Homo-oligomer: A and B are copies of this chain.
């Protein structure tokens, strides 16, 4: 999408320097800093430290990470066992994201079809770039399908903006283009439907206040930042027409792992009869599990992400401590919203109910080829 008139993506392969480049999202919205990833350790660090974040982007970064493993300095003596170990390290960088394993596995398989170094490098790059274009295309399609839902609401309330609440950042920064949760928003806005977005700030790392607000502002979409506490109150008072969130991993039965706090918004949406949709590409479904609360591992991150808040002060990024010095904190990064609270999924293949039968029917062709 556009940033100050210039087309940008959160990750790209620079053909001139033959390097992988990413936006360092930790500095947004205050500074736009680009980083080069030239070693698998840098790729892992970028994923773990959330230089890059968001399910599809993590998948894309993992995919290009396999290319980085093949071309990084010091890998001259590599054998298949070493290569496999590096791929495993990459896959374990963040435990909740289904796309990471998926992206790495897909490129790794293409690499292992080749037996010598240069074809392997080329295979890795080709497959990673193919994944990236597929993700971009998926998001575009999610936008087209999701726009219909927004159009319906707009049709019922002529002249009034459609109020959409979203949690965290499932925008283009988390994907490649359009985003997942934001794809219907961008697509509807670009089609002239009046939109206003309630942006949950999304503690602890404030991806909503920092990234979603930045994205929407750069695209000229009306939005208001709210605390994570506020959504229920707004829904009670008829100020939310629709909730759309992304997901890091969704079971085949429709249980949705997403940024911590998503479950609370789903409960409030249900209590106030407001549709609650989850936007995702097929790559985010985990076809091996059904019970998300039992089976999706939830990442525990550094408690200092709770104890400290990062922001802009005196023209630089500054961290302030909000808790007493000796108070401990716990940082569960995700929660699971049970399928019973989800109105439906917006995917690249269309919209479906949150049930195993509806999901597997929508991806029937996938089952024929992949499973």
Contacts and interface: CB of A to CB of B under 8 A. Distances in A.
Contacts of A202: 229
A76 to B, nearest CB: 45
A236 interface: yes
Q: How many copies of this chain does the complex contain?
A: 2
B260 A332 contact: no
Interface in A206-262: 206, 209-210, 213-214, 217, 223-234, 236-237, 259-261
A264 interface: yes
A226 B330 contact: yes
17 contacts: A201-B323, A206-B322, A209-B306, A210-B324, A213-B327, A217-B324, A217-B326, A225-B329, A227-B306, A227-B331, A229-B261, A230-B335, A234-B332, A236-B263, A267-B267, A309-B311, A311-B322
A27 interface: no
Contacts of A268: 263-264, 267
A213 B323 contact: yes
B324 A29 contact: yes
Interface residues of A, number: 64
B263 A227 contact: no
B232 A322 contact: no
A313 interface: yes
Given A226-B329, A236-B263, A263-B268, 13 more contacts: A213-B324, A213-B327, A223-B327, A224-B329, A225-B306, A228-B229, A229-B259, A229-B261, A230-B335, A232-B264, A233-B334, A309-B311, A312-B320
CB-based closest 3 A-B pairs: A311-B320, A229-B261, A233-B335
B229 A264 contact: yes
B321 A230 contact: no
Contact of A227 (B203, B224, B231): B203
Nearest to A204: B227
Contact of A306 (B226, B231, B271): B226
A263 to B, nearest CB: 4
